[in-house]
Amino acid sequence: MTLQLTTAGESHGPALVAILTGLPAGLVLDREAIDADLRRRQEGYGRSPRQRIETDRVEVLAGLRHGRTLGTPLALVVQNRDHANWSWGMSPWPPEGEPSGKGTKPVTVPRPGHADLAGALKYGLADIRDALERASARHTAAAVAAGAVAKALLRAISIEVEGLVATEDLERRIDEARDERDTVGGLVEVRARGVLPGLGSYATKEDRLDARLAAALMGIQAVKGVEIGDGFALAGRRGSEAHDEVEGPGLGRRTNRAGGIEAGVSNGEEIVVRAAMKPLPTLMRPLQTVDLETGEPAEALVERSDVAAVEALAVVAEAAVAFELARAAREKFGGDSLGDFVGAWRAYLDRIPWQRTP
Ligand code: EPS
């Protein structure tokens, strides 16, 4: 039994879609809680005017009845309101009538740092828009909706996940960058409390919780670095200052340098992960590139974009960590109904002499 997520959707296409399989039956979902996470993702300093067009809300097409999961695939949809301005340019079928609105002219000047060049070469595209639309971080709205469902499942076994910005002085850096028509990145941190020992496994690298969390975070647009616990700093320390001594009958730790994971398995301490986001690649003062149509030097594509999306990343990273922890918990505790799942969790807690540190 495992949880899986498939998403579909382009930034200015009709909608974003998320299909979750492997949820137990009987999990109560709160529409307002999912929408609240979608709202949090849209907020934040330095976001694009696009966010004034969108008001992200979840719609459910399948897998839910009267607010309870059925144990069948859950199909979620988030509409792209901006699609109304791109209905010709992003029409799924050959568009009818004269070109109108946005996205009617092919993009041929790739932005360094975006999917543009690699996507055009890989897929043999004459219009870079065919690459950038799916690569866009707009897609993270679908992941956040799925993450909100994962958080509801985790709450049933007393796990709470929270993402925060870990960059200081972010607003000032954003103001300065905007004035200079530039962009900035930053750091976010996600903490998961109440994670019991034993999620993930050292059996194979695919099972390792640290590898899975790293992949989940690295899979988010613009993330270039991931750290677990004291991460890179551990490389410069001695063993006596790098590990977490065990104490008391509850098997707690004095420190948490490992970030709650040892040998790819949760150890009962808080899970702490960080992700580094690069500055966004759409610059109002464009970088140099080559026009793929003419082969001549050119300036990269300039289009409406964010100056920063670090606060959004904190919400998206929270969703990604929640989804991966929920997946690991489904693997460990299984069950077709929520009652089975929670029952297996309780039985396991009864078996191990671990006590959650307050
Ligand atoms: C993005 C470019 C911008 C961002 C977008 C990600 O889109 P647009 O060109 O429509 O203004 O706003 O993020 C979102 C739309 C979102 O909802 O997060 C990109 O190129 O990655």
pLDDT at 1 over 80: no
* Percentage above 70 pLDDT, the chain: 100
- 4-351 has CATH 3.40.720.10 classification: no
The response to whether residue 173 sits with its C-beta less than 6 Å from ligand 1 reads no
Query: What pLDDT score does 263 carry?
Result: 98
Query: What pLDDT score does 304 carry?
Result: 86
Q: How far apart are CA 283 and CA 330, in angstroms?
A: 42
The response to whether residue 190 sits with its C-beta less than 6 Å from ligand 1 reads no
Q: What are the tens digits of pLDDT across the range 275-326?
A: 999 999 999 999 999 999 999 999 999 988 899 999 999 999 999 999 999 9
CA of residue 242 relative to chain centroid, distance: 29
Q: For the packed helices 310-333 and 140-155, what is the interaxial angle rounded to 10 degrees? A: 50
The response to whether residue 141 sits with its C-beta less than 6 Å from ligand 1 reads yes
Mapped onto helix, strand or coil, the DSSP state of residue 190 is strand
pLDDT at 358 over 80: no
Residues 6+ apart with CB under 8 A from 317: 163, 188, 190, 217, 220, 223, 273, 275
Strands 223-228 and 64-65: unpaired
**Atom 5 of ligand 1: nearest residue by CA position:** 138
CA of residue 330 relative to chain centroid, distance: 19
pLDDT at 357 over 90: no
Does the predicted TM-score (pTM) go above 0.75? yes
Q: How far apart are CA 336 and CA 328, in angstroms?
A: 15
**Atom 3 of ligand 1: nearest residue by CA position:** 305
Query: What pLDDT score does 248 carry?
Result: 86
Nearest to residue 128, comparing CAs of 299, 240, 342, 291?
291
**Atom 13 of ligand 1: nearest residue by CA position:** 138
Which helix (H) or strand (E) segment holds residue 333: the answer is helix 310-333
Structure confidence at residue 335 as a pLDDT band (50, 70, 90): very high
Token pair recorded at residue 76: 């979620």
Residue written as token pair 């008001």: 55
Q: How far apart are CA 207 and CA 158, in angstroms?
A: 22
Query: What pLDDT score does 316 carry?
Result: 98
Token pair recorded at residue 213: 């969390």
Query: What pLDDT score does 303 carry?
Result: 86
Mean per-residue pLDDT over the chain, rounded: 97
Q: What are the tens digits of pLDDT across the range 81-106?
A: 999 999 999 999 999 999 999 999 99
Query: Ligand 1: distance of its center to the CA of 136 in Å?
Result: 6
Structure confidence at residue 189 as a pLDDT band (50, 70, 90): very high
Q: How far apart are CA 81 and CA 190, in angstroms?
A: 30
Q: How far apart are CA 158 and CA 275, in angstroms?
A: 24
Quick one: how many helices (H) and strands (E) in the chain? 9, 17
